[in-house]
Amino acid sequence: MMDLTGIIAGILSTVTERNTYIAPVFTLESACEHEKFAKVFVTKGNFAYMGKKITITFDDNSLSVPIRLDSIFAKLGAIENIAFAKSTYRGAIEDTVLFQQLYDVKTRTFQYKKNNVTVTQQELSAPCMKCGIILPVQQLTIDHQAPQTDGEYEALLKTFRAFGLTHGAPQGPKGQAIQQHFTRGTAMRPIPTRISRPILTSTFSLDDRYTLNDEGVAIYSLIRNEGLLGDLLTACMHGLCNLRPMCGHCNTARGNPTKFI
């Protein structure tokens, strides 16, 4: 996994009011990419580096948006931190505390029949997020909520939404839990499985939830302009916001399940 935050920080560390960074500005509106007439990123002020602001100035001066760099780096860093390498889901489940908290992964007692004797055994386990059956992690698969085929932008927007980078806030309990954890420090809590969950309602429209806000535009444009969009899409596809444990039965109905191990 590339160090997206480090690369962007390195590029912006040389930018001053006199030495500006000039690049196109890209937005995602209703999940579609648009290139804006805006063209200039300028840092403002004589603050220490992390206190600097990046300003997106549109060509016609219709809008000038100052955004703090430290906020951008914090959010980009968090997105990277919750992205798992594709080949190590099992490691993520055993090692990633946030994943364990969110999906109620813990050691539980299971019964096994060995020869003609019923024995109990302690296993690391989690509920299937669809039907709720609790299984040892070896029996579970990983579901990509936005599918690996053609779901890249949905995964990116789902992730950006959880970090407050879209106009609309997350609708589901996972996005809300992640957002509250990273913005307010709320302890991550296990989210309900589908079978016990009430039908979701949102005060935000679908378009708002799939449209970047100013901070989201700044991050997306920086990444896009530096040729790192593929890495960002991969990070979001295989990141915490887009993954959930599911039993083989439920996941088979959704296409090719990826095994935990």
Residues of this chain that interact with Zn ion (CB under 5 A) are 128, 130-131, 247, 250
The answer to whether the CB of 215 falls within 8 A of the CB of 76 is no
Nearer to Zn ion, 195 or 261 (CB): 195
Q: Give the shortest CB-121-to-Zn ion separation in angstroms.
A: 21
- 55/214 Cα distance (integer angstroms): 10
Instruction: State the minimum distance, in angstroms, from the CB of residue 108 to Zn ion.
Output: 16
Minimum distance between the CB of residue 229 and Zn ion, rounded to whole angstroms?
34
Per the DSSP assignment, residues forming a β-bridge with 123 are 108
Minimum Å distance from CB 257 to Zn ion? 11
Residues in CB range of 255: below 8 A, 6 or more apart? 147
Burial of residue 151, with CB atoms counted within 10 A of its CB: 0-12 exposed, 13-18 middle, 19 or more buried: middle
Distance in Å, CB of 113 to Zn ion, minimum: 22
Report the half-sphere exposure of 11 (CA within 13 A, side-chain side).
Answer: 20
- Least distance CB 187 / Zn ion (angstroms): 26
Distance between CA 120 and CA 172 in Å, rounded? 36
Pick the closer one to Zn ion by CB: 167 or 194. Answer: 194
Beta carbon nearer to Zn ion, 73 or 110: 110
